[in-house]
């Protein structure tokens, strides 16, 4: 009972270390690699080949960049810190500031600009040529250009095979949504219209490219694909990125990735040009609005001035006046100053009334407020300038976003408030000017009252002359403003400067050959490792000594390594001249046997199921015992299948069943000599009996064992599997030692607790285990074979021929 408790305690201690032993370590990985290096090598080669095929299908991708500087309205650019005070002032006036560079970055990468560039560069028609496994995109180096004369309806693609320098043939036509193949073919001649189901086009040759392809012109196939302009813009949009160089400057970097360097440069230049044009158009909107306003006012003032001049002419003609009397010179000198103030005040008041009328009529629109330089109130001038700048920014953002955007709505609210503030300021200023005009008129009227001696005709002339002077002054001012506006319209400079033209390395950024190769190498190593690891993870069969010791306390007598293919179960592979690893394994079993039961003479071998190597182990173990000079007899106790007898060509002759049934009493008549060198005899199973279990239960079996003990030193019983039939349990009563054969990868580990139960309940006498077909060359935990004394003692691992292995076989032979 105490021994059982010690065994259970030992087993518990081993199970506590299970988590440590089962942890995946570098040694486990190395063992897996060494045991399956051929598969690792094949996997790596396959992955590397697939990576090369993948790289062969991918075109090189290049990256090009351009840098521009965003300047403010004064033409200044640089650090944002210098604009902090200006931004703060704009925010106080209701203008969203500080995000101007971000807005420009967004507009620069807008879909509208992408669509414009795609249209200008004709990117909706793509050309390619097959080179190996990849399609190489053509741009400026294409031998011809296809210009479609009809509007886009459906996407289409075709191949144009050049027959000569004059044209070619269309084949492999596909068009529609989705793309479907068509049997349409047509001849193409340069410069002539070709009618197709997906649109008419004209092919124009590129003479320089065709001259360079004189030898390859015939049979050269160019793929042509037409997509919608919107799809082309989307492709371009995805190729381009833009962003700020850093947070402290107003530099913007634009990046384009493409398979063609020249096309990437053209895309960047096209975006910059389109962006410049959009800025100039935005700036000219103010000048255009002011110009329209001035033209309307010039026409109105011209009409009023003509009317005043007509009145003057009619008055003089009707009254016969030629010149003003010199008597009024003194009064005129006194009233000159008052008249000038009146004229100036009325001019200012008229301009302000024009602006008030203009704002009242356009109170809810998105138009700009004309800028009139004659306004003396600087506050109103600043308000109008801020309003126009915000209106321009709002209109530019509205082109790329929805009218319901929160940003647009916030800007509309700010514009409405600013417009109301400007209108209120203008009305207040108009009222102030009106008072000034009235005061000036009253002053002038007072002076005119002193002219009682002047004829009424003189006074009328002066009044008409005053009106004429006002109209002439306003008319001259408007003509000057018209010239200034015309000059502003002629300005074509945007508030940006290209700092760096498109540049970049001509080394492709993709595909990354080294990275892909390393990934393929990594996958080639990981995939087989994961396969073998998962295979091991889901494998519940017994693998070596560690599994047996983890679940049982049954002593392990030894391990028989994996034998070479072609060895039969009945073959005796041990003899006195062999010192290979297989022979040493059986010597180790023989050496360990006395530690289990030193008085054991009758040894029975059994297993869980057929095919675990009992026949092979029993025969070679018996031969190993016989090599020590002991006499050994091997009994084929499997009287149902008679495996050993059949393999040894002893089937059908008398044997064990003949003795047990009482037909033959002299056992020596049944024994066959197997090997004199090994002192090994065999007792065959005999003729198949109808009642095997009853024969084995008879006392004749005990009598047989007593007689054999007198004749032999060891009796080896090759029995049936213990879990198949009851014969093993019946025969065990005569056995001194029971060897339970477990074959690696044959027995499920879940059976080991049941085997432990048989051991604890002593169903078998002195039960011990021999692990067969062990594939581990070297074991951790101190277990290993280490046979083959090749260290100067005159013994080798095997025969001399086995030592002469080639390097290839050493590298790729599966060991362990």
Interacting residues of 197 by C-beta distance below 8 A, sequence separation 6+: 173, 175, 182, 184
Task: Please tell me the distance from the alpha carbon of residue 5 to that of residue 553, in angstroms, as a whole number.
Answer: 11
Interacting residues of 174 by C-beta distance below 8 A, sequence separation 6+: 156, 157, 158, 180, 181, 182
Q: In angstroms, what CA-CA distances link 297 with 29, 291, 305, 388, 485?
A: 91, 10, 12, 20, 14
Task: Please tell me the distance from the alpha carbon of residue 643 to that of residue 631, in angstroms, as a whole number.
Answer: 23
- Between helix 261-319 and helix 111-120 the angle, nearest 10°, is 100
Q: What is the DSSP letter of 569?
A: T
* 607-610 contacts, C-beta under 8 A, 24 or more apart: 607/721, 607/722, 607/740, 607/741, 607/742, 607/743, 608/721, 608/722, 608/723, 608/740, 608/742, 608/746, 608/747, 608/751, 608/755, 609/721, 609/723, 609/724, 609/746, 609/747, 610/641, 610/721, 610/724
pLDDT < 50 stretches in the chain: 1-21, 80-98, 327, 453, 777-816
635 neighbors 683 (Cβ within 8 angstroms): yes
| pLDDT tens for each residue of 301-331 | 888 878 887 777 776 666 655 555 554 565 5
Which pair of structure tokens corresponds to residue 634? 């091997």
Specify the pairing of strand 221-226 against strand 240-244. Answer: unpaired
Task: Please tell me the distance from the alpha carbon of residue 111 to that of residue 116, in angstroms, as a whole number.
Answer: 9
User: What are the φ/ψ torsions at residue 99 (nearest 5 degrees)?
Assistant: -115, 15
Global pTM value: 0.60
Q: Which of 180, 234, 107, 136 is nearest to 508 (CA)?
A: 136
pLDDT of the residue at 488? 67
Specify the pairing of strand 602-607 against strand 496-503. Answer: unpaired
Task: Please tell me the distance from the alpha carbon of residue 644 to that of residue 719, in angstroms, as a whole number.
Answer: 10
User: What are the φ/ψ torsions at residue 607 (nearest 5 degrees)?
Assistant: -155, -175
pLDDT of the residue at 715? 95
Q: What is the DSSP letter of 792?
A: S
Query: What is the distance between the terminal CA atoms of the chain, rounded to a whole angstrom?
Result: 40
């Amino acid at each position: 009972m105490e021994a059982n408790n010690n065994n259970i305690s030992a087993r518990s201690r081993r199970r506590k270390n299970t988590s440590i032993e089962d942890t995946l370590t570098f040694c486990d990985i190395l063992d897996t690699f060494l045991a399956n290096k051929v598969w690792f090598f094949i996997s790596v080669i396959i992955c590397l080949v697939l990576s090369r095929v993948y790289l062969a299908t991918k075109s090189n991708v290049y990256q090009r960049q351009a840098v521009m500087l965003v300047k403010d309205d004064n033409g200044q650019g640089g650090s944002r810190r210098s604009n902090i005070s200006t931004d703060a002032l704009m925010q106080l006036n209701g203008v969203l500031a500080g995000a101007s560079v971000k807005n420009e970055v967004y507009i620069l990468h807008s879909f509208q600009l992408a669509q414009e560039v795609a249209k200008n560069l004709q990117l909706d028609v793509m050309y390619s040529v097959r080179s190996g496994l990849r399609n190489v995109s053509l741009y400026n180096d294409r031998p011809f250009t296809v210009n479609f004369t009809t509007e886009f309806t459906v996407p289409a693609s075709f191949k144009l095979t050049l027959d000569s320098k004059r044209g070619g043939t269309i084949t492999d036509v596909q068009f529609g949504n989705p793309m479907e193949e068509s049997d349409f073919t047509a001849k193409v001649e340069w410069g002539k219209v070709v009618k197709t189901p997906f649109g008419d086009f004209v092919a124009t040759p590129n003479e320089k490219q065709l001259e360079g392809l004189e030898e390859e012109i015939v049979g050269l196939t160019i793929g042509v694909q037409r997509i919608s302009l919107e799809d082309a813009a989307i492709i371009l949009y995805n190729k381009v990125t833009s962003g700020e160089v850093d947070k402290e400057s107003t530099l913007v970097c634009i990046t384009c990735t493409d398979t063609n360097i020249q096309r990437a440069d053209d895309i960047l230049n096209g975006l910059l040009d389109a962006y410049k044009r959009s800025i100039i158009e935005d700036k000219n909107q103010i000048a255009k609005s002011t110009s329209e306003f001035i033209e309307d006012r010039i026409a109105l003032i011209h009409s009023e001035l003509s009317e005043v001049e007509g009145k003057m002419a009619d008055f003089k003609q009707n009254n016969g006046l030629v010149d003003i009397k010199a008597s009024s010179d003194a009064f005129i000198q006194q009233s000159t100053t008052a008249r000038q103030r009146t004229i100036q005040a009325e001019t200012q008041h008229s301009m302000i009334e024009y602006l008030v009328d203009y704002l009242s009529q356009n109170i809810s629109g998105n138009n700009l407020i004309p800028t009139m330089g004659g306004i003396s109130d600087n506050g109103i001038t600043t308000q109008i300038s801020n309003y126009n700048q915000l209106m321009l920014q709002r209109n530019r953002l509205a082109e790329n976003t929805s009218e319901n955007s929160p940003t647009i709505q916030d800007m509309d609210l700010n514009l409405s408030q600013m417009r109301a503030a400007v209108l209120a300021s203008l009305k207040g200023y108009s009222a102030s000017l009106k008072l000034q005009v009235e005061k000036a008129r009253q002053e002038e009227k007072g002076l005119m009252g002193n002219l009682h001696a002047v004829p009424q005709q003189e006074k009328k002339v002066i009044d008409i002359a005053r009106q004429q002077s006002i109209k002439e002054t306003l008319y001259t001012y408007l003509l000057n403003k018209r010239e200034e506006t015309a000059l502003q319209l002629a300005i074509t400079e945007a508030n940006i400067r290209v700092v760096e033209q498109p540049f970049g390395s001509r080394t492709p950024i993709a595909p990354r050959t080294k990275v892909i190769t390393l990934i393929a190498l990594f996958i080639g190593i990981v995939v087989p490792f994961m396969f073998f690891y998962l295979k091991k993870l889901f494998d519940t069969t017994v693998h070596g000594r560690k599994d047996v010791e983890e679940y049982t306390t049954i002593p392990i007598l030894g391990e028989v390594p994996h034998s070479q293919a072609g060895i039969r179960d009945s073959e005796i592979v041990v003899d006195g001249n062999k010192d290979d690893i297989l022979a040493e394994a059986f010597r180790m079993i023989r050496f360990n046997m006395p530690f289990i039961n030193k008085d054991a003479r009758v040894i029975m071998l059994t297993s869980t199921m057929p095919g675990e190597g009992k026949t092979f182990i029993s025969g070679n173990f018996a031969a190993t015992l016989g090599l020590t000079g002991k006499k050994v007899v091997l009994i084929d106790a499997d009287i149902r299948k008679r495996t050993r007898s059949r393999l040894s060509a002893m089937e059908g002759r008398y044997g064990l069943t003949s003795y047990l049934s009482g037909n033959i009493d002299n056992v020596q008549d049944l024994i066959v000599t197997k090997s004199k060198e090994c002192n090994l005899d065999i007792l065959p199973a005999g003729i198949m009996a109808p009642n095997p279990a009853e024969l084995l239960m008879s006392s004749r079996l005990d009598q047989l064992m007593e007689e054999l003990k007198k004749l032999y030193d060891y009796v080896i019983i090759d029995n049936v599997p213990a879990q198949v039939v009851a014969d093993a349990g019946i025969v065990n009563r005569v056995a001194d030692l029971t060897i339970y054969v477990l074959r690696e990868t044959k027995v499920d580990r879940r059976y080991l607790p049941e085997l432990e139960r048989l051991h604890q309940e002593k169903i078998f006498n002195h039960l011990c285990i021999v692990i067969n077909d062990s594939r581990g060359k070297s074991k951790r935990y101190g277990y290993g074979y280490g046979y083959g004394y090749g260290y100067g003692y005159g013994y080798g691992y095997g025969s001399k021929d086995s030592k002469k292995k080639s390097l290839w076989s050493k590298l790729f032979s599966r060991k362990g």
